[in-house]
Amino acid sequence: MNGWPRDGELPMRMRMHIVDREVVVVPLNPEGSSQGALIIREAGALTGFCALFDQV
């Protein structure tokens, strides 16, 4: 499927920083961080990012 993961596979190219499970920082462009980053504090998104981190 042209770059998409197969069933059950996670793409491992994403960089993220989780701080005290309260803040997640991810690049705006996953191919390079020179375009800036997104700071996420919303509880639902944090739960998802932390779950992804725990699976890896």
The Cα 25–Cα 21 span in angstroms is 11
Predicted TM-score of the model (pTM): 0.68
**Model confidence pLDDT, tens digit, residues 22-48:** 999 999 887 877 889 999 999 999 999
CB of 35 closer than 8 Å to CB of 26 = no
**Can you give the residue ranges of every domain in the chain?**
1-56
